[in-house]
């Protein structure tokens, strides 16, 4: 079979002594795994701080279970419809799909991305109504019927048991991990960024039945391709379907990765790659919430897949498909422009080095790719230009609501990751061993296996093209990431590198498969390493299951715990504040939040403090408290919601991400990254004195009435 690893028979051992190689591999495992598990103690996941309140109301249970089944049914219908139209677009483009698996994986990912553009179009013309969404789903489903039948016929052989116990075991492992993240996606949303903007924006659009300008929410003035899928989910069913439409990109990424790796003719290597993808805990965590990172990852992997097919076939249609995927990625997140730059350089590199093409030809191919990639993101640039005056808001020249005060609060200028070059060279180690999800330590638990395996690609020469190009892309992203965090420490989050992780899984699976080249009768290195990998996989699955079950999700999933009780248990005082605002304040209120950015569960008109600078903006714009209060009155605001604990937290010294130096010489933080001044605090005190406090909520929130 011809594929991206068609050079696999050329792969040989590097000229390194056998003893040095074996001792190096084993010592590296001994160095990484104990250090990792000292930080990430197994079975130390979260446990519910508040026990769920269980109520055996059978009608409520039936309603909750039915709602989740309906969400899963609508998810299936949406994905099948997207796969049909994505496959049909591939045929229109003349893409020569080699297998039904390839057509399914690429078609579904492309179709879901383009569905976001369809929803954008509906929003632009004021068509965001449930009836319109259901009608569109039905029409597109019926019109795509022939393609669906073709896809189903091609899928049937895939439903038969896979040959080989090891392949089935690896897929079972990945499936169990996927079920854990699916369970999280079926719970009511509580993730921070989802409540700030990923769901809040779609909710506001659905309520207005059109795309609306929300200039005070900085994040809603960026490309939002995946958020349009959340809008689709809210229209059809609610926020459970919205979360599922992000979760589905996790298995799509796994299938794309399998299809990419197995094209060397060995399905087992593809199975290992999928299992390694499933071993990355924070990828599954992100899949279970309404974020956009796993969708971005699927688009980037689809682009890399199509690019590799172009390098083999020289069929320009594959490069067109790669560009479309890149456009969808950039329409999801600005940071994807780095992938466009790297792939454009690879086009030039491949054309000039491997194909011996003239410079003019390779530059024209790279330019063409950039122009096609611009198509999916162009509507967002136009929309942002209309709303903010800047198509790439707030970069280059700012825009509406952007000033030095907002930049200081959001970007933390002057705070970089480190001044020591060794800290950047050690990032793979530091981010893996010390990184922990939901903490300042890179906000991600990556699992140890990729660090254990991927570096040993140096043991081989004659690497397949897929591995070589994957390494170039990974290395380029790593360099760009290091440059970014060197200037802005707030970007020191492993989440920004998630699109590179499937490519890392490809490299690690290649290493795991080819360690057999170093086997000897006395010591089969490949068996030893595989045994250790299997133990880590089992431990990872058990730990993730322990953490998931420790949060007591089953009562909420089965309807034994009402939705509002689950949210109260998970969100604490924030849910108490939203309940008070929604149920106790008069209908005509409009709230101004201070140091509370989450607005999703507030049913009353409100301006959330998305960039945590609402007070600072009042002070800068109006100078004194009397004018600020008058401006709030003129803006129709009737109440203040003051997150007192939020302000206290921001005043505490900020915890920087780990570096090598801080590991060996711990330094206590002494300052906050947030520019809170004594003038701000005096200004706040004066404003609060002019308002009437009407409610204290759990000593965390205070509600004031504006005179």
Domain range for 256 is 8-354+363-550
Residue 252, pLDDT score: 97
What are the two backbone dihedrals, phi and then psi, of residue 209, each rounded to the nearest 5 degrees? 65, 15
Q: Which pLDDT band, with edges at 50, 70 and 90, does 519 fall under? A: very high
**pLDDT tens figures, 463-494:** 999 999 999 999 999 999 999 999 999 999 99
CB 295 within 8 A of CB 226: yes
Q: Which pLDDT band, with edges at 50, 70 and 90, does 663 fall under? A: confident
Residue 193, pLDDT score: 96
- Residue 560 falls inside a structural domain: no
How many domains does the chain contain in total?
2
- What token pair was written down for 690? 């002019």
Q: Which of these ranges, 109-123, 144-158, 349-363, has the smallest mean pLDDT? A: 144-158
| DSSP 8-state secondary structure symbol assigned to residue 197 | I
What's the CA gap between 452 and 535, in Å, rounded? 13
- pLDDT of 157 > 70? The answer is no
Neighbours of 613 (CB within 10 A): 23
Helix or strand (DSSP H, E) at 504: helix 501-514
Q: What is the mean pLDDT of residues 425-446?
A: 95
Residue 537, pLDDT score: 97
- pLDDT of 554 > 80? The answer is yes
Predicted TM-score (pTM) of this structure = 0.95
Task: Return the half-sphere exposure (C-beta side, CA atoms, 13 A cut-off) of residue 590.
Answer: 8
**pLDDT tens figures, 280-335:** 999 999 999 999 999 999 999 999 999 999 998 888 999 999 999 999 999 999 99
Question: In this structure, are 193 and 325 located in the same domain?
Answer: yes
- The DSSP bridge partners found for residue 695 are 703
Residue 159, pLDDT score: 45
Question: In this structure, are 120 and 29 located in the same domain?
Answer: yes
Residue 161, pLDDT score: 46
- Residue 564 falls inside a structural domain: no
**pLDDT tens figures, 200-240:** 999 999 999 999 988 889 899 999 999 999 999 999 999 99
Residue 100, pLDDT score: 84
Last residue in a domain, options 515, 550, 585: 550
Residue 2, pLDDT score: 33
Neighbours of 216 (CB within 10 A): 16
Question: In this structure, are 411 and 310 located in the same domain?
Answer: yes
What lies within 8 Å, CB to CB, of 414 at 6+ separation is none
Question: In this structure, are 606 and 544 located in the same domain?
Answer: no
For 49-129, where are the alpha helices, taking DSSP H only? 58-93, 100-124
Question: In this structure, are 148 and 204 located in the same domain?
Answer: yes
CA dihedral 195, 198, 200, 204 (to 10 degrees): -170
- Residue 267 falls inside a structural domain: yes
Helices 293-313 + 316-330 axis angle, to 10: 170
- What token pair was written down for 14? 């590097």
More confident residue, 353 or 261: 261
- What token pair was written down for 154? 């091609």
Question: In this structure, are 541 and 603 located in the same domain?
Answer: no
**3-state class (DSSP) for residue 702:** strand
More confident residue, 60 or 702: 702
- pLDDT of 162 > 70? The answer is no
Question: In this structure, are 255 and 150 located in the same domain?
Answer: yes
Residue 6, pLDDT score: 46
Query: In Å, how far from its chain's centre is CA 484?
Result: 18
Residue 265, pLDDT score: 59
- Residue 172 falls inside a structural domain: yes
Task: Return the half-sphere exposure (C-beta side, CA atoms, 13 A cut-off) of residue 704.
Answer: 22
What's the CA gap between 442 and 428, in Å, rounded? 11
- pLDDT of 194 > 90? The answer is yes
Question: In this structure, are 578 and 541 located in the same domain?
Answer: no
Residue 9, pLDDT score: 60
Last residue in a domain, options 550, 585, 603: 550
- pLDDT of 665 > 80? The answer is no
Question: In this structure, are 546 and 645 located in the same domain?
Answer: no
CB 499 within 8 A of CB 479: no
Query: In Å, how far from its chain's centre is CA 433?
Result: 21
Q: Which pLDDT band, with edges at 50, 70 and 90, does 4 fall under? A: very low
Q: Which of these ranges, 55-69, 164-178, 427-441, has the smallest mean pLDDT? A: 164-178
Helix or strand (DSSP H, E) at 539: helix 525-550
- Residue 565 falls inside a structural domain: no
What's the CA gap between 518 and 516, in Å, rounded? 5
- pLDDT of 583 > 90? The answer is yes
Residue 362, pLDDT score: 81
- Residue 3 falls inside a structural domain: no
What's the CA gap between 638 and 705, in Å, rounded? 6
% the chain with pLDDT above 90:
78
% the chain with pLDDT above 70:
96
Question: In this structure, are 330 and 465 located in the same domain?
Answer: yes
- Residue 424 falls inside a structural domain: yes
What lies within 8 Å, CB to CB, of 335 at 6+ separation is 496
CB 578 within 8 A of CB 592: no
Cα torsion 647, 648, 653, 655: sign: negative
Last residue in a domain, options 550, 584, 609: 550
What are the two backbone dihedrals, phi and then psi, of residue 335, each rounded to the nearest 5 degrees? -60, -20
Question: In this structure, are 500 and 598 located in the same domain?
Answer: no
Q: Which pLDDT band, with edges at 50, 70 and 90, does 166 fall under? A: low
- Residue 111 falls inside a structural domain: yes
Question: In this structure, are 532 and 607 located in the same domain?
Answer: no
Q: What is the mean pLDDT of residues 137-164?
A: 73
Q: Which pLDDT band, with edges at 50, 70 and 90, does 662 fall under? A: confident
Q: What is the mean pLDDT of residues 137-144?
A: 92
Residue 552, pLDDT score: 92
For the chain, the maximum distance between any two Cα atoms, rounded to a whole number of angstroms, is 85
Q: Which pLDDT band, with edges at 50, 70 and 90, does 508 fall under? A: very high
User: Mean pLDDT, the chain, as a whole number?
Assistant: 92
What's the CA gap between 565 and 207, in Å, rounded? 25
**pLDDT tens figures, 520-536:** 988 999 999 999 999 99
Neighbours of 522 (CB within 10 A): 5
């Amino acid at each position: 079979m011809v594929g991206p690893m068609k050079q696999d028979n050329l792969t040989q051992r590097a000229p390194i002594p056998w003893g040095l190689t074996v001792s190096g591999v084993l010592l590296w495992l001994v160095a990484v795994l104990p250090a990792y598990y000292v930080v990430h103690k197994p079975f130390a996941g979260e446990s519910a701080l508040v026990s769920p309140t269980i109520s055996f109301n059978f009608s409520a249970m039936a309603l909750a279970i039915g709602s989740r089944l309906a969400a899963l049914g609508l998810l299936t219908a949406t994905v099948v419809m997207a796969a049909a139209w994505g496959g049909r677009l591939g045929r229109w483009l003349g893409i020569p799909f080699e297998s039904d698996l390839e057509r399914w994986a690429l078609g579904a990912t492309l179709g879901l991305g383009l569905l976001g553009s369809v929803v954008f179009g509906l929003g632009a013309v004021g068509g965001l109504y449930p009836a319109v969404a259901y009608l569109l789903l039905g029409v597109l489903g019926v019109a795509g019927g022939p393609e669906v039948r073709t896809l189903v016929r091609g899928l049937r052989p895939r439903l038969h048991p896979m040959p080989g116990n090891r392949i089935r075991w690896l897929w079972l492992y990945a499936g169990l991990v996927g079920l854990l993240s699916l369970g999280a996606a079926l719970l009511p949303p509580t993730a921070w960024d989802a409540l700030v903007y990923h769901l809040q924006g779609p909710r506001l659009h659905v309520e207005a039945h059109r795309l609306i300008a929300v200039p005070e929410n900085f994040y809603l003035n960026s490309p939002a391709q995946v958020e349009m899928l959340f809008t689709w989910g809210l229209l059809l069913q609610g926020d459970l379907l919205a979360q599922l439409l992000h979760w589905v990109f996790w298995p799509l990424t796994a299938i794309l990765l399998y299809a990419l790796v197995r094209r060397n003719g060995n399905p087992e290597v593809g199975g290992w790659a999928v299992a390694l993808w499933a071993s990355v805990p924070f990828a599954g965590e992100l899949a279970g919430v309404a974020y956009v990172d796993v969708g971005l990852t699927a688009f980037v992997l689809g682009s890399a897949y199509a690019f590799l097919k172009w390098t083999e076939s020289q069929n320009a249609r594959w490069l067109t498909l790669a560009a479309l995927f890149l456009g969808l990625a950039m329409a999801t997140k600005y940071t994807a422009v780095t992938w466009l730059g790297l792939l454009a350089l690879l086009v030039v590199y491949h054309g000039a080095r491997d194909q011996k093409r003239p410079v003019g030809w390779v530059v024209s191919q790279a330019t063409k790719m950039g122009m096609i990639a611009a198509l999916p993101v162009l509507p967002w640039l136009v929309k942002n230009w209309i709303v903010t005056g800047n198509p790439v808001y707030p970069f280059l020249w700012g825009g509406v609501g952007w000033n030095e005060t907002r930049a200081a609060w959001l970007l933390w200028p002057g705070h970089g990751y480190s001044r020591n070059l060794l800290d950047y060279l050690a990032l793979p180690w530091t981010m893996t061993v010390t990184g922990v999800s939901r903490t300042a330590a890179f906000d991600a638990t990556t699992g140890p296996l990729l660090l254990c395996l991927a570096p040993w690609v140096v043991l081989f020469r004659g690497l397949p093209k897929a591995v070589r190009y994957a390494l170039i892309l990974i290395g380029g992203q790593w360099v760009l990431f290091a440059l970014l965090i060197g200037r802005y420490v707030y970007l020191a989050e492993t989440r920004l590198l998630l699109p590179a992780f499937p490519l890392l899984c490809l490299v690690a699976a290649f290493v795991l498969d080819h360690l057999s080249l170093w086997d000897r009768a006395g010591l089969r290195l490949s068996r030893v390493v595989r045994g250790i990998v299997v133990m880590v996989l089992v431990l990872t699955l058990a730990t993730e299951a322990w953490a998931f079950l420790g949060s007591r999700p089953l009562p909420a999933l089965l309807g034994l715990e009402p939705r509002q009780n689950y949210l109260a248990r998970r969100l604490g005082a924030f849910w108490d504040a939203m309940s008070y605002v929604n149920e106790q304040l008069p209908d005509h209120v409009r709230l101004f939040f201070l140091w509370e950015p989450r607005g999703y569960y507030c049913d009353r008109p409100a301006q959330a403090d998305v960039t945590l600078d609402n007070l600072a903006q009042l002070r800068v714009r109006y100078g004194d408290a009397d004018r600020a209060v008058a401006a709030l009155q003129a803006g129709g605001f009737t109440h203040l919601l003051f997150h007192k604990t939020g302000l206290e937290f921001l005043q505490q010294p900020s915890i920087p991400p780990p570096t090598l130096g801080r590991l060996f010489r711990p330094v206590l933080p002494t300052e906050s990254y947030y520019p809170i001044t004594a003038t701000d605090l005096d200004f706040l005190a004066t404003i609060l004195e002019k308002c009437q406090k009407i409610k204290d909520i759990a000593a965390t929130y205070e509600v004031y009435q504006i005179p």
